[in-house]
Amino acid sequence: MLIQLNQKQIKLQNELQEYFESLITPALRAELNEPEHFEGGGPEFKKAMRTMGSDGWIGLSWKKEFGGKELSPIEQYIFVETVMRTGFPFPFLTTESVGPMIAEHGSAWAKEEIATKILKGELIFGIGYSEPNSGTDLASLQTKAIKQTDGYLINGQKMWTSLANFSDYIWLATRTDFEAKNHKGISMFIVPTDDPGFSMSAINTLGDVRTNATFYDNIHIPENHLVGELNQGWSLITSQLNLERLALVNHGPVEELYKDVLKTARSTKINNDQYLSDLSWVKHNFAQVHSGIEALKLICWKQTWIMESGQLNMAEASVAKVYGSEFFIEAYRLMMEIMGELSILKNNSELTILNARLERMYRTASILTFGGGTNEVQRDIIAMAGLLMPRTR
């Protein structure tokens, strides 16, 4: 057993830190501070993605045939962790969860055209799972793909299609067999957003993160846009979600925030000879956050290590998701308590601290307890796969 990064990996971490310092230019920072670009999608963002791609960073653990470097998932995790620490809205769902599924199960066209371009930082995906009447019960989805002589005809509506406003494609779950029950009869497609049948309307959220309702009106796509076997899409969805769950709870950003809050507390004078960090309750909050981050880091490292040897275990991916998402909420609260009233000041206000990161983060925190598979379902999975208890109903 060895639970630490090796010398090479620490070197990689340092190298990446330096790399991002030069990659994230003032112009990019300024763009990312514009509300419509919080999640990326602007010209500077696109430029940075392509630079990361051509510098070979996005696909560290990917196979060489796609342009990757065939390093381990640990190196891949370090890359994502480090880029996320910078606050850059890295589209990790595209690169860490949809991308690997396409690389493994896509058609020859998809492997060549899509997977390789994801690694070059040229493509962004939105994920089309939820529908107005299908959320947690995803298998009840109604969006249809009907077989034609030369491909499929797609009709339907998706909800919460984040990033669709600047995505090139949607990773779309459709029903292809209308007789089959539940999880059978679902197929996965790559759907281009430049099709005239594709449209969307914005949904503005509490965290000022834009998401979208997306509409698919008689979109015709060729056969090679099907990923995996026809009617066998459910296993792709669950595999993608396992990868997504791990990527969602990466420990980098919360640890970075913790460090910054600690630094701020240690330099904030509360009277002539005392700093904020001298108060015992402040110390307690830091200790709570720190011991929580330690567990999260180890959960993520272990998951990543498991990926090296094969498939993610369902129970453990769900542990990561439940623990991480609920810990984030608690951690933001504890850190906002430390900074007190100052932490409710917004980014454009005077006296704002830490670029109002706390003020934004707490508003986005709730998404993770239900997004990526609601925590109730995750707990069902843990009880079933981890504790071998009977299926709940």
Which of 89, 386 has the CB closer to another protein? 386
Contact 247, 92 (CB under 8 A): yes
**Which of 81, 131, 316, 359: binder of another protein (CB under 8 A)?**
316
Neighbours of 211 (CB within 10 A): 22
> What is d(CA 235, CA 223) in angstroms, rounded to the nearest whole number?
20
> What is d(CA 232, CA 176) in angstroms, rounded to the nearest whole number?
10
Q: Is residue 302 close enough to count as binding another protein by CB under 8 A?
A: yes
The DSSP secondary structure of 232-261, one letter per residue, reads BHHHHHHHHHHHHHHHHT-SHHHHHHHHHH
> What is d(CA 179, CA 68) in angstroms, rounded to the nearest whole number?
41
Q: Is residue 389 close enough to count as binding another protein by CB under 8 A?
A: yes
Q: Is residue 345 close enough to count as binding another protein by CB under 8 A?
A: no
Of the ranges 166-174, 218-226, 303-311, 345-353, which one interacts with another protein (CB under 8 A)?
303-311
Token readout for 190 is 């790559």
Q: Is residue 319 close enough to count as binding another protein by CB under 8 A?
A: yes
What are the contacts of 1-5 at 24+ separation with CB within 8 A?
3/298, 3/301, 5/74, 5/78
> What is d(CA 234, CA 240) in angstroms, rounded to the nearest whole number?
10
Minimal distance in Å, beta carbon 350 to another protein?
Answer: 27
Q: Mask of contacts with another protein, 268-297, x by CB under 8 A?
A: ---------xx-x-xxxxxxx-xx--xx--
Q: Mask of contacts with another protein, 220-259, x by CB under 8 A?
A: ----------------------------------------
Minimal distance in Å, beta carbon 317 to another protein?
Answer: 12
Which of 140, 291 has the CB closer to another protein? 291
**Which of 6, 136, 204, 274: binder of another protein (CB under 8 A)?**
6
Contact 50, 100 (CB under 8 A): no
Q: Nearest to residue 300, comparing CAs of 83, 85, 98, 78?
A: 78
Minimal distance in Å, beta carbon 308 to another protein?
Answer: 8
Q: Is residue 305 close enough to count as binding another protein by CB under 8 A?
A: yes
Minimal distance in Å, beta carbon 64 to another protein?
Answer: 22
**Which of 23, 74, 110, 118: binder of another protein (CB under 8 A)?**
74
Which of 117, 379 has the CB closer to another protein? 379
Catalytic residues: 244
Cβ within 8 Å of residue 301, ≥6 positions away: 3, 74, 77
Minimal distance in Å, beta carbon 290 to another protein?
Answer: 6
What is the contact surface with another protein in residues (CB under 8 A)? 1-6, 9, 74, 262, 265-266, 277-278, 280, 282-288, 290-291, 294-295, 298-299, 301-302, 304-306, 315-316, 319, 322-323, 376, 378-380, 382-384, 386-393
